[in-house]
Amino acid sequence: MINQERILAEFLELVQIDSETKEEAAIAEVLKDKLASLGFSVEEDDVASKTEHSANNLFANLEGTAKGPAILFSCHMDTVVPGKGVKPSIKDGYVVTDGTTILGADDKAGIAAIFEAIRTLKEKNLPHPSIQVVLTVGEESGLVGSRHMDASKLKAEMGFILDSTGKVGEIVKAGAGQYRIVTKIHGKAAHAGVNPEDGISAITVASKAISRMPLGRIDEDTTANIGRFEGGRAYNIVTDYVEIWSEARSMVNEKLEAQVKKMTTAFEEVASELGATCENDVKFMYSGYKFDEGTPVLQKAIAAVKRVDREPKLTNSGGGSDGNVFNGHGIPSVNFGIGYEEIHTKNERMPLEELYKASELVLAVIAECVE
């Protein structure tokens, strides 16, 4: 039903617009014009003023022609580096680069899939509920755009993100939320050979605290890690200061909170026991989510995959996506695999079959949401 030549041409156009993360201004202008031409009312937030990014998140709304839950489709407009001067070509059923840059199928394949589906929808005069398209900046910088977005502009009841590896048919039904912790331990310096008993080793405090923590794979939903540990000035000085970077992740927010508490409490208790002081700077990054097959958004996603003659494959992700943020704002959202391969490398490529099928999937989701 979709126009394969048209979606391919648009995808090739999009990947040739430079949009490395933090430098999204040029593509944002193109995307605004394209959304407006598709009949969307387009607005943006002020995320550029809050971050180091050159453009804002885009929020585009299309009024429904039929009853059904208001739905959201989302992709990000930025790419990783090296993403300037992309020269795409078609080889053996794939869109590839000349080997000097990434391709940017992550996530411009998703954008092209959404746009072609909407064009087809309008041309065929197909019924649809209200549709919101949200295109974010800074996803590759750590979900910067979505984490700082103006959530008051979100209008959907459920969301579908086109930004995951795996062929069309894969559905990320659970994604881990994350906290980051920077811990500063202050001990007391002393000469390590003359009077070590007068010192309080910050390294000892931190080491004993870490030994009390559950780390690594905690359970099927939760992980925790010490990522960086530094401090000390010389062989012969009892170390009076160390800094530790750590994180906790979980698909279940209650488990995430509990893990963070265990980690910060261990640092605080051992510091108190050994006469040191401790500061924990705890930073919430994004929420976790985990859906069972009875959840409406997952039911719609499964039905849509079957509608395009693919077998649904349900997966979990330990990493974060914009979908985590939408879920944190109360919009149940799942992430679709759209088929790109070897992303974040110069070998990145996009199978034409998956590009076309991803756009068919967007149409199928819309059809499943019409009541």
For residue 21, the model assigns a pLDDT of 98
Closest C-alpha to 328, from 143, 196, 131, 170: 143
Q: Do domains 4-176+289-369 and 182-286 have the same CATH topology?
A: no
Triad 78, 83, 86: Cα angle to 5°: 120
Which residues carry a binding-site annotation for Zn(2+)?
A: 106, 140, 163
Q: Check: CATH 3.40.630.10 for 4-176+289-369? A: yes
Cα gap 360→371, rounded to integer Å: 19
Cα 305–309–312 angle (5° rounding)?
40
Whether the model clears a pTM of 0.85, i.e. scores above it, the answer is yes
The per-residue pLDDT for 13 is 98
Q: Encoding tokens for residue 244?
A: 């530790």
Q: State the pLDDT at residue 264.
A: 98
Domain 182-286 has CATH 3.30.70.360: yes
Quick one: which of 44, 6, 2 has its CA closest to 25? 44
Which residue is it, tokens 């009892």? Answer: 238
> Which residue is listed with tokens 């039905």?
303
Which pLDDT does position 1 carry in this prediction? 86
Catalytic, out of 116, 139, 348, 354: 139
Q: Element (H or E) spanning 358, and its range?
A: helix 352-368
Residue ranges covered by each domain of the chain: 4-176+289-369, 182-286
Binding site feature residues = 106, 140, 163
Structure letter (DSSP) for residue 165: S
Residue 2's nearest CA partner among 174, 134, 122, 138 is: 122
The dihedral formed by the CA atoms of 228, 274, 234 and 230, expressed in degrees to the nearest 10 = 10
Profile the chain (371 residues) by mean pLDDT over runs of 10 residues: 97 98 98 98 97 97 98 98 98 98 98 98 98 98 97 98 97 98 98 98 98 98 98 97 98 98 98 98 97 97 98 96 98 98 98 98 98 96
User: What is the C-alpha to C-alpha distance for residues 78 and 71, in angstroms, rounded to an integer?
Assistant: 23
User: For residue 199, how many other CB atoms are within 10 A of its CB?
Assistant: 18
Confirm whether 139 is a catalytic residue. yes
CA 285, distance to chain mean position in Å, is 11
Give the span between the Cα atoms of 205 and 27, in whole angstroms.
50
